[in-house]
Structure 1
Amino acid sequence: MTITVKCLSHTPLRGLNDPGEEVVREVDAVLAQARAEVEAFDPELIVIFAPDHYNGLFYDLMPPFVIATAAESVADYKTLPGPLSVDRDTALSMARFILDSDVDIALSHRLQVDHGCTQTLEELTGSLTRYPVVPIIINSVAPPFAPYRRIRKLGEAVGRFLATLNKRVLVLGTGGLSHEPPVPLLAGAPDEIANFLIAGRNPTPEARAARQARTIAAGKVYGTPDSPLTPLNPDWDLTFIETLTSGRLADVDGFSVEEISKAAGRSTHEIRTWVAAFAALSAAAGPYTARTDYYRPISEWIAGYGVVSAQPA
């Protein structure tokens, strides 16, 4: 087995809100470099840890983790429609291995995935189907959350499974860093919002467009006095990145959900996907080397935007 890791922020507002020519040029360049590195690596399997934003998973049944044997894009925010090329047999074998490792994970044979999963696949491969993939969704926006030590244990179980394969494996973590888009909370929500959060699958095109318009509008004032949302926190982001790149994975066990939400925003918990990806690398291959390819706070995209790469030492 050969393994490499890339963790990226995603933002559905890329291409919709304009942060300025310099920022767009920088992000385009770092993503082009990342895609070139993926093409050179030529993975035989991609494992992607991703969040969901109330598009595939709802409170009628909200698992902490779910692995898919089949998945289809909801095509939100101009992402590509259609099925992902999920490696069903590998996904099933991985699910059994994870369960045998005393980590509970749900299984879906028909999962809907949103931009949290598909945007990064598009950016790094140009397609949803170019490489075989196993999607693992980690609940990152719908409280209550599993503690961070459980995320590390999930990643380690996945890594031990990958070590049994004779394949080139790319592990992706997609989400974060600090950010707080206008995602509603179930607690105290009016009936209309609560009903959506509990069972809002397959909205009408008009409802999806209205939801996306609210996010676009929030991005236009995010980080200004006109926004009620928690602003980006570059210091927090860079400290978190350094924790992973320096190999101090056990430090995440002490992370507090409440403290992170207060310091960096409620959707910052998408960093769980990064934790799982690095834990998988560590368990599969031991000590690793990592580099920060890019970081910049981009309020117009509601994103502490980072790109990090890692491989066995």
Structure 2
Amino acid sequence: MKLVRFGQAGQEKPGLVDAQGTLRDLSAHLADIDAAALDPQALARLRAIDPASLPAVAEPVRFGAPVAGTRQFIAIGLNYSDHAIEANMPIPSEPIVFTKAVSCIQGPDDDVRRPRNSAKMDWEVELGIVIGSRTAYVSPEDSLAHVAGYVVCDDLSEREFQLERGGSWDKGKGCDTFGPIGPWLVTADEVGDPQALDMWLDVNGQRMQTGNTRTMIFDCAAIVSYLSQFMVLLPGDVITTGTPPGVGMGMKPPVFLKEGDVIELGIEKLGSQRHTVIAWDAAR
């Protein structure tokens, strides 16, 4: 299934996109696409609904982040060896873990805001994992059974805040609007192998990133298992899993985002995003 949340910010309704690409309204069957809706039994009930029985929604509409109420937004750094090389950092022997503020989560096509005093705003196309059931101390062999589905993430970053201001990476990763997710939450059964997905990102129509999830250093099963040794993962949590090479920081000379730039990105089977960079003072 391709699950979505559509409508104005703060007023999104639950929906799904059927096999013909038609948006259908699910609000008669559940209140939202949230932790309760992602439980395996709840997903099974949704799969039993005939999409043709659901009201079609006239498009275009705004899509919000496809999961509501996320309590933890966890990220993995330097998870593609060629990205670690372009960042001039050692290839990690264990996953590098940081967090993104849940307040930065937004819809896939919403504008993104350049923070005040930002000089080095950057892009990163990433595969996101959405947890479907409480997960603690799970083995790699069993970890994907706890995954509800997958999403496209743009792990927007402010490199000066991240790398030159001391302390952890978090301060350059959780700025407002730095977590576009969606457009769809595609359930794990429909995605199949999460380590066989092509991914791409363009800035102003120029291809910057091309990759495939098969080149991750730590695959999705390993990441979920690893994180579950240190924290309890909860339904609706999002894990963004690292980016392939081609970020602005790695270019010679580096290239960073400015107001008016248009970022487009996507992952095979998971849809695409498009956002425009705007100034902080021009935002909501």
Do both proteins adopt the same fold according to a TM-score greater than 0.5, normalized to the shorter chain? no
User: TM-score if structure 1 supplies the norm length?
Assistant: 0.24
Higher share of residues assigned helix: 1
Higher share of residues assigned strand: 2
